[in-house]
Structures are given as structure tokens and as C-alpha cells.
Chain A
Amino acid sequence: MNVLLDNLDLYASAFVGTVKLFLVAAVGSIVGGMLLAAMRVSPVPVLRAFGAGYVNIVRNTPLTLVFFFFAFAYPRLEIVDLSFFARACMALIVYTSAFVCEVVRSGVNTVPVGQAEASRALGFTFGQTLGTIVLPQALRSVVPPLTSVEIALLKNTTIAAGFSVFEAGGIYQNLSERGYNVLVGLLWVAVGFLILVIPLTLLQRNLERRWSVSR
């Protein structure tokens, strides 16, 4: 217990770092994933092909490799000098967007074509079809799996700690410098993540149960 209490400042700042990284990457990945999904369902073949290619490649790339690129290789390109935090955000966004895209796309695809056809037959415009018919139905099947993707993102932020020390995964290095028991310290980190992840998991299951569409 005193490993936690003696180093409360360390834990607090590290978990604030984790949450910051998570929030920025979550918003970024949802925006990026929506854009990719819009490409993947668009009537333009080139954009569809690009979206499909991006998703296929990124989903089969280890996140560690993406981080590796942004941590070590990106500075060599001398484009813009970014802080490690910004590069970690970019790595997480590049990676997670592909998963968000798949969730959104399969959510849109769960809406039967007849729904859109019926609304077109009733004279609804594209915006009305999208806003009042398709999206409200798609949302129900998107949000629960989207929550699991973002939970995975929260856990993936720890990989940033392997490349630099500013968030919860990096606590052990500071602790061993201060001479505390690393095992106990790391177990507290695990507990911290349980506290962050479990409410989200419960929320996700609740949404899944309440929002599941019976077709």
C-alpha cells in the first residue's frame, strides 16, 4: 500500500498522462474512422479502394511497429518537429482509425437496403434519408462495438510508455529509481487500469443489451 501512497504524485501525473493521450486519440480516431468509413461506402471506386487498402494493411500491422515508425523513423524525415506526445497520438490515431472504420461500416451495413429504398420512395432527400432513417438505426449497432474499440485504445496507450516515460505504463522505471518494489508498483498500475476499464466495459455491455436491434 505504501508504494502507492508514497508515490501518489507519480501515479497521479502518470494516469493523467494516460487519460489525456486516450482522450485525444479517441476523438482523433473516431473522426479518422468516420472519414475512412465514408470513403469505404462512397460511390467513388478510387476512394473505396483506398479505404479498403488502408484498413486491410493497418489492421495487419502491429501497433508496436506503428509506434516504432513514429518514435524512431519519423524524426528522420524532418517534416515538422513534434513532441513525443503528439507523435504517440498520431500513432494511436493511425492505428485505431482502421478499427473504428470497420465498426462504422459494418454498422451501416446492418441497416437493410429496403429502409433506404422505402424512404427514397416516400420522397425523402439524401440528407433526410441519412439523418432520420439510416443513421439512427446504424448508431444502435455501432456504439457498443465502438466502445470496445476505444477500450482497446485505452489499453494500447501503455505502448507509448515503452517508448517514452510520461504515462502509467512508465511508472515502474521511476519506482525502481526511487528504490521501491517494482512488482507491487506494477500491480497498482494494473489496478488503476481496472478502475479505468471496468466502468467502460460495463457501459459497453449495458449498451449492447439495451440497444441490440431485434430484426
Chain B
Amino acid sequence: MTAVLYDAPGPRAKRRNLLLGVVGVAALVAVAGFVVYRFAVTGQFEPDIWQWILYKNIQLLLVDALLNTLRAFAVAAVLALVFGAVLAAGRLSDHRWIRGPATVVVEFFRAVPLLILIFILYFGVSRGLGINISAFTALVLGLMLYNGSVLAEIFRAGVASLPRGQSEAAYALGMRKTQVMTNVLLPQALRAMLPTIVSQLVVVLKDSALGFLILYPELLYQARFLGSQGQLGSPILPVAMVIAAIYITMCLLLSQFAHYLERRTRRTRRVDPAAPVDDTAVEMEQIRAATP
């Protein structure tokens, strides 16, 4: 195997790589062993600290928390997609008086930290203006505003990455502006951007954990609650591990779906050279979307 950095290894390089491998494994095992040792010494593997997992009420509590997380995610994802589509339409508009405000909105919500947005909605609006906003509404609105703005950029980049010949040909056929967009550009752009859009939905799911900080009763909130129960032995580490497993599994599944879509679009593209897509633009957008 030859990579950019390394040539195919000869006998000396093979020996060196083996040595590096042994040292690397030893270092990793040492670190993992130390962590497990600390877990064992502080009694995190004792049976009674894991007892809570058998109680039916707690299981139901966690299922309820999971549903709350998923509800916030689902509502926020749909709203963000709609909001993003509207903003993208605004940013792609030919009229400056629409494009300008849309750009300002996108830039503003992408620059302000999501948590500050949620705090503004939850603490600021309720205490400052006296309008009562539930934690759920504040969380969903915050997620919608931030991720909608990011999605708007993704949609726009998808349309911009198409070869100009596509829209020129459509105009030459006598299509109107809206027809060009909805019949020619959007279907291609959506297909190219679908993996990126799904990756952004992973971000929505991850960021729904911010609801913990405004006391929305989702997974982390219940983990904190259970972890502080003295009569269960304050099992914060065991609960945190279970919650982490749930979160990581959900996000990994969604990420895998995004990967699957990406492989699929790539495969068809190779077969069908008639629809070339600017790969570097798409790739850069994917890197950008993957940033936290």
C-alpha cells in the first residue's frame, strides 16, 4: 500500500512499524487499564451502584426522557429544514431587498452561539418581556434558528455547485425562474447535498442535549437527577455511561445513514457522467457541516 506520506514498506520499515504497533498498543492498553482501575477502585463496578437499572420506574423514566429528546429532535429537524429552505430561497433571490435581510439573518444566527440563543429565548424573553416560553419551545426554536441558517447555506452551496449550463439550458428552453429552480436545479442540488443535510441532522440531535442546561427533562436531565439520588448510591457514572451509549448509538446510526447516502450518490454519479457535480465544493461543504 502506498499512501501520500508512506511508501510501500520494505523489511526494515515493516520491523519498525511492528515495533511502533506494539508500543502503541501498550500505551493505549495502559491508559484504558488506568481508567478501568480507577473505576474499580472508586467502586463503580459494585453491583449495588448498578441496582437502579432493574427498577421499572427508572426504566420508564429513562424511556420518557428518550422520547422527550426524540420529540425535540424531530420537531426541531422539521422546522429547521423548512426555515432553511425559506432562507435559502431568500439568499438565492434576484432582488437585493430580499437577499440582503436573508444574508443578515443567516450570518447572525450562525455567529451567535446556540446556547446563548436558547438562553435568550428561555431566560431573556420570559424574564425580560414577561412572555412565558416553555423549555421545549425555547430549545426547539433555538435549534431551528441555528440549524436552519446552516441548512440554508448547505442548500445554497448545493445549487451553486451545479454547472451553469444546467440553468442556461433551462432558460433557453423558455422556463421561468421558478421553474428553473424547482424543476432543474433543486432536484440535482438536493441529491448532491442529501448526505450533508443528514449530517446536519446529526448536529440537531447532538445539540438537543443542550436542553439539559435549561432543565428540559431529556436524557441528561434525568441522568443528573438519578445520579444525585443518595438512596441509589449516587450512581452518576453508571447512569452517564448508559446515557452516553444511548446518545452515541442514535447519532452513529444517523451518521451511518448519511454515509450510506453519500456512497450511493457517488456510485450513481460514476455511472452517469451526464450530471457532473463539483466535488470539491460538495466536499468542502461537508467538512464545514461536520464542524460542531
Does any Cβ of A come within 8 Å of B47's Cβ?
no
Selected from A42, A163, A169, the residue in CB contact (under 8 A) with B116 is A169
The interface residues of chain B lying within 8 Å CB-to-CB of A116 are 3-5, 7
Query: Count the A residues whose beta carbon is within 8 Å of the partner chain — how many?
Result: 75
> In the complex the two chains form, is B252's CB within 8 Å of A60's CB?
yes
A45 touches B5 (CB 8 A): no
| Contact partners of A156 in chain B: CB under 8 A | 113, 292
Known: A72-B224, A182-B127. A201 touches B116 (CB 8 A): no
Q: Are A61 and B108 in contact (CB under 8 A)?
A: no
Beyond the given A61-B247, A111-B4, please list 20 additional residue pairs across the A-B interface where CB-CB is below 8 A: A56-B255, A59-B255, A63-B209, A64-B210, A68-B212, A72-B224, A72-B240, A73-B237, A76-B44, A78-B38, A106-B283, A134-B4, A158-B116, A162-B213, A169-B113, A182-B123, A183-B127, A186-B116, A186-B119, A198-B111
CB pair A76–B236 under 8 Å, yes or no, is yes
Which one of A62, A149, A201 contacts B291 once the chains associate, using CB atoms below 8 Å?
A: A149
User: Taking the complex as formed, is A159 at the interface, i.e. its CB lies under 8 A from any CB of chain B?
Assistant: yes
Query: Chain B interface: which size bin?
Result: 35 or more
| A residues near B28, Cβ cutoff 8 Å | 46, 50
Fill in one digit per residue for B185-220: 1 if any A CB lies within 8 Å of its CB, else 0: 000000000000000001001111110110000001
Judging by beta carbons under 8 Å apart, are B209 and A64 in contact?
yes
A134 to B5, CA, bound (A): 8
Asked, given contacts A156-B113, A193-B111, A194-B111, whether A113 binds B2 with beta carbons under 8 Å apart, the answer is yes
Count CB-based A-B contacts (< 8 Å).
Answer: 204
Interface residues of B in 77-120 (CB under 8 A from A): 107-108, 111-117, 119-120
| Complex interface: chain B residues within 8 A of A163 (CB) | 213
Closest partner residue, chain B, to A129 (CB atom): B5
Residue in A63, A115, A117 whose CB lies within 8 Å of B2: A117
Query: Contact between A172 and B237 (Cβ–Cβ < 8 Å)?
Result: no
Q: Which single residue of chain A is at the shortest CB-CB distance from B208?
A: A62
A162 to B214, CA, bound (A): 8
B128 close to A183 (CB less than 8 A): yes
Whether A152 contacts B292 by the Cβ 8 Å rule is yes
Residue A123 lies at the interface, judged by CB distance under 8 Å to chain B? no
Can you list 23 A-B contacts with CB-CB less than 8 angstroms, sorted by A residue number? A42-B6, A43-B13, A44-B17, A44-B21, A46-B25, A59-B255, A60-B255, A62-B251, A64-B220, A68-B240, A72-B236, A76-B42, A76-B236, A77-B38, A79-B38, A112-B4, A159-B213, A182-B124, A183-B128, A186-B119, A193-B113, A197-B112, A201-B107
Contact yes or no, B114 A155, CB < 8 A: yes
Give per-residue flags for A102-125: 1 if the beta carbon is below 8 A from chain B beta carbons, else 0: 110010110111011100100000
